[in-house]
Amino acid sequence: MRERKKLFLIVGILLLLFLGIHFLRDREEPEPASQLPGLDGKLYSLSDFRGEPVVISFSATWCPPCRRELPLLQKIYEEYKDKARLNVLVIDSGEPRDKVEALARELGITFPVLLDEEGEVARKYGVLYLPTLYFVDPLGNLVAQVIGAQEESVLRGKLDQVLWFRGLREAEVKNLVELGSEITILDFRKESTNPFPDRENISYQVVDGVDSIVSSLPREGVCLLLVESNEEGIEIGKALAVSGFQRVYYWMVDVPQG
């Protein structure tokens, strides 16, 4: 009897994984198309985040693995919200506002928490298990899914698939240049100089706008932006991400270097 129960459990888990993978492969554009209210009183839709990466977490206050995963999502959100415009959206299904608000306060959640009180959006996504995470790239494509609470390394591995642009500090830039095979440096600054003139793996260009490079550079290449401010780096990075560039970095200038 014990072996039979174990067999049924394994079959059930495999079925959940199969359904999740099948659902993910068939979906080119993520749901929901409709808006959901957040605890902050605003209405949210995925279309609001076009050009930016999004992590969507289906959760509930009664779910212990969700409670363990939410602080990890908060940590990742704080790390990338400014330098990569990462968005994290938690969708709580089938629960009243007061319960959800209490948990958000308890865990110190600062990203949007949305209310799916009728469970409509969870059904659209085919969510069968909590927590379930979806990773949406800057073009709006759902590219990865994680079912159940996972280690931080697993989430970061999935996150790399949607972080098409991000800011780097000086030490990170030097690592990129030393370890990368071919890197195109795009200099948008008024006073333009190549910071790595002796590196053979560097292609250096002075540019005056995004339009001048979109049609001439390969989308799969590595681009490093030299900009006047972090905000400029983010805006240019978003523009390139929307155009299909998938490895764009900008040298952060508005933070202490090192």
Task: Examine the domain organization and report whether 129 and 32 are in the same domain.
Answer: yes
- For residue 101, with 0-12 CB atoms within 10 Å meaning exposed, 13-18 middle and 19 or more buried, which class applies? middle
Task: Examine the domain organization and report whether 151 and 171 are in the same domain.
Answer: no
Which of 141, 159, 177 finishes a domain? Answer: 159
- Report the chain's terminal Cα–Cα distance, integer Å: 61
Model confidence band, residue 8 (pLDDT cutoffs 50, 70, 90): very low
Task: Examine the domain organization and report whether 8 and 129 are in the same domain.
Answer: yes
Task: Examine the domain organization and report whether 16 and 103 are in the same domain.
Answer: yes
Q: Is residue 256 part of a domain?
A: no
What mean pLDDT, rounded, does the chain reach? Answer: 87
Q: What is the largest CA-CA distance in the chain?
A: 76
- Of 27-36, 71-80, 135-144, 223-232, the range with the lowest mean pLDDT is 27-36
Count of domains in the chain? 2
Task: Examine the domain organization and report whether 111 and 221 are in the same domain.
Answer: no
Percent of the chain whose predicted confidence (pLDDT) is above 70: 85
Task: Examine the domain organization and report whether 180 and 71 are in the same domain.
Answer: no
Task: Examine the domain organization and report whether 122 and 21 are in the same domain.
Answer: yes
Q: What is the pTM of this model?
A: 0.82
Q: Would you state the torsion angle of the CA atoms of residues 38, 44, 50, 53, taken in this order, to the nearest 10 degrees?
A: 20
Q: Rounded to whole angstroms, how far apart are CA atoms 199 and 209?
A: 25
List the domain range (segments joined by +) for residue 37: 2-159
Residue 113: which H helix or E strand, with range? strand 113-116
Task: Examine the domain organization and report whether 146 and 222 are in the same domain.
Answer: no
Q: Rounded to whole angstroms, how far apart are CA atoms 126 and 15?
A: 13
Q: What is the pLDDT of residue 101?
A: 97
Q: Rounded to whole angstroms, how far apart are CA atoms 9 and 217?
A: 50
Task: Examine the domain organization and report whether 38 and 109 are in the same domain.
Answer: yes
Model confidence band, residue 34 (pLDDT cutoffs 50, 70, 90): low
Q: Is residue 257 part of a domain?
A: no
Alpha carbon 150 to its chain's center: 16
Name the more confident of 258 and 75: 75
Q: Is residue 135 part of a domain?
A: yes
Q: Rounded to whole angstroms, how far apart are CA atoms 133 and 148?
A: 8
Q: Do 174 and 200 contact (CB within 8 A), yes or no?
A: no
Task: Examine the domain organization and report whether 155 and 30 are in the same domain.
Answer: yes
State mean pLDDT over 33-49.
89
CB under 8 Å, gap of 24 or more: what pairs does 214-222 form?
A: 214/240, 214/243, 217/184, 217/245, 219/243, 219/244, 219/245, 219/246, 220/246, 220/247, 221/182, 221/184, 221/245, 221/247, 222/176, 222/180, 222/182, 222/183, 222/184, 222/247, 222/249
